[in-house]
Structure 1
Amino acid sequence: MDRIAPRFARYEPLRHAGELMAGMVSGLDRKNCWTIAEHRGDTTPDGLQHLLARASWDADAVRDDPRDYIVDAFGDPGAILVVDETGDVKKGVHSVGVQRQYSGTAGRVENSQMAVYLTYAAPRGHALIDRALYLPRSWADDHDRCADAGIPADKRGFATKPTLAVTLIDRAVAARVPAGWVAGDEVYGADPRLRAAIRGHGLGYVMAVAANRRVPTHAGPIRVDALPALIPAHAWQTHSAGAGALTVNEFRRLFDALLLVTHRTLASLLAWSRWRRRHQYRARQSQYRQREHQ
């Protein structure tokens, strides 16, 4: 809270901001002003509602303060900026941007509110550093509805999710957030303007695309799902995803060792035994850590 304290001119909004943050990271099943206020022992949510609807404070400046803290804590020039969206299922029709749309959180079309987020992923940690609310055309084209909801005039334009991702990446680069790569799913990998913007910042990217997307090669355009067949078998390598419960890797190695290899020397058997014991130990340790956090 010390980082964001200068953003509030009065103590009361700052106190309510701290209460709101504590409620958002609590174990409450539903998190809104009413449930958080009750969790805090307050009889009404008036203080939290005043903070969000009428109090004077700079939300964008408060957004940037944790980002700077995260960069100070574990910034790395090889870090990855991950763009992704998430949805919050809503019951009513008054939450800004709400409409029936596909929500990955629900796994189906729901009455929901969508936002695009930017995650900073570095070797020493990862955290969200930015966000942008998605305003569907049904909202952006309805100026009266936007005005009634209190959306500032300069925030009412329609922008696709990849366009919002460009804005988030631009802000990170402008703030000198150290990073080397951008990652995203098919929603973002399919947008050429987003990919061009990333290249313009001198960043690499790894993004999913649809299997039927055609990409240029020396032999001409070809579908991406046909590319693996063009790569010779000796060019493929197997890499560990890191320490953890490597039971799938162990099963594959066991299958290869027992069913595919017909001639084994004593040295190879000893090597396999050492490999199996090492990864069984990792699997057990990972399981113990998971139990500790349950």
Structure 2
Amino acid sequence: MAGRFFRTEPRRRARAYVRGLLAPLAGKNGWTLAEVAGDATPDGMQRLLNSATWDADGVRDDLRDYVVEHLGEAGGVLIVDETGFLKKGTKSAGVQRQHSGTAGRVEKCQLGDFCAYATSRGRTLIDRELYLPKSWTGDRERCRAAAVPDEVEFATKATLAADMFGRALDAGVPAGVSWQVCKPWVGQDRPQ
């Protein structure tokens, strides 16, 4: 994945970030991840996530290929699960009051759909999509302020799941004919 980072500093920071995520820490946030990396402040980690130039979709694809090489088998299962991230502010992309399964109620949060791949050899996440409500995609200035590209349009959670399944199958992820979507869909996004 090193080639997906165009400079040495973000490449090293990304390695430290992943090592921090895998470390046995009680809580994982910018400060704790920075401390594990040997940094005095979380500024470098924040820079990696907010402004460094790197190919996030390329990293996703490299990870998926690695997973298929090491865990792939014909009976694999693709699983999509929604997760909510509680937020206090209003500027993070997609944040609004909406139902969060994580919280078990309506809260101010971001929602993400994640695609996991599971086989008898192991399991891991291989894809992700951030859900952007219509209130966001209908407000281009707000999207630009949160670094959401102009070409991003509203997509239901079911559409995001289908996109992730499509990417996995197009990339040759060996999976059986069955797949699973976890957690009930809520509101307008319930599949027909």
Match of 1:76 in 2: 73
Q: Which amino acid aligns with 2:157?
A: K
Separation in 1, partners of 2:33, 2:110 = 20
Alignment equivalent of 2:15, drawn from 13, 18, 32: 18
Instruction: Find out whether 1:134 has 2:120 as its counterpart.
Output: no
Question: What are the within-5 Å matches in structure 2 for residues 58-77 of structure 1?
Answer: 58-77=55-74
Distance 1:159 1:168 in 2: 12
* Matching residue within 85, 104, 107 for 1:107: 104
2:163 maps to which of 160, 163, 167: 167
Task: Report the Cα offset of residue 81 of structure 1.
Answer: 0.8
Seen in structure 2, the aligned counterparts of structure 1 residues 64 and 111 have a Cα distance that, compared at 3 Å, is same
Task: Tell which deviates more after alignment, 164-173 or 87-96.
Answer: 87-96
* 1:146 paired residue number: 143
Secondary structure of the equivalent of 1:153?
A: coil
Structure 1 vs Structure 2 CA RMSD: 1.7
Q: If each structure's helix is expressed as a fraction of its own residues, which one has the higher value?
A: 1
- Structure 1 residue runs of 5 or longer lacking an equivalent are 193-294
| Alpha-carbon distance in structure 1 between the residues aligned to 2:140 and 2:25 | 35
**What does 1:36-55 align with in structure 2 at a 5 Å threshold?**
36-55=33-52
Aligned with 1:119 (options 116, 138, 145): 116
Query: C-alpha distance in 1, partners of 2:89/2:25?
Result: 21
1:1-294 counterparts in 2 under 5 A? 4-155=1-152, 157-180=153-176, 181-185=178-182, 186-187=184-185, 191-192=191-192
Distance 1:54 1:91 in 2: 21
**What TM-score do the two structures reach when normalised by structure 2?**
0.90
Q: Which amino acid aligns with 2:57?
A: D
Q: Distance in 1 between matches of 2:88 and 2:26?
A: 15
Question: For the pair shown, which has the larger CA radius of gyration, 1 or 2?
Answer: 1
* Cα deviation, residue 59, structure 1: 0.4
Could you say if the C-alpha distance between residues 95 and 27 of structure 1 is closer, same or farther in structure 2, counting changes exceeding 3 Å? Answer: farther
How many angstroms apart in 2 are the aligned matches of 1:6 and 1:31?
A: 26
Unaligned ranges ≥5, structure 2: none
Q: What displacement does 1:153 show?
A: 1.1
User: Which residue identity is paired with 2:164?
Assistant: L
What is the one-letter code of the residue matched to 1:164?
L
- More strand, by proportion: 2
C-alpha contact 2:77 2:175 (8 A) present in aligned 1: yes
- Is the CA contact 2:17–2:37 (under 8 Å) kept in the aligned structure 1? no
The alpha carbon displacement at 1:67 in A equals 1.0
Indicate the SS of the match to 1:17. Answer: helix
How many angstroms apart in 1 are the aligned matches of 2:46 and 2:71? 34
Displacement of 1:30 in angstroms is: 4.0
Q: Tell me the distance in 2 between the aligned counterparts of 1:184 and 1:54.
A: 33
Would you say the 8 A contact 2:97–2:106 is kept in 1? yes
Higher relative contact order (CA 8 A, sep 6+): 2
Q: Deviations over 1:35-70 (max 9, x none)?
A: 322343322222222222222210000011111111
Q: What do the CA deviations read for 1:100-145 (whole angstroms, capped 9, x no partner)?
A: 1111111111111100011111111111111100001121111111
Shift of 1:150: 1.0
TM-score, normalized by length of structure 1?
0.60
Once residues 160 and 138 of structure 2 are traced to their aligned partners in structure 1, the CA distance between those partners, rounded to angstroms, is 18
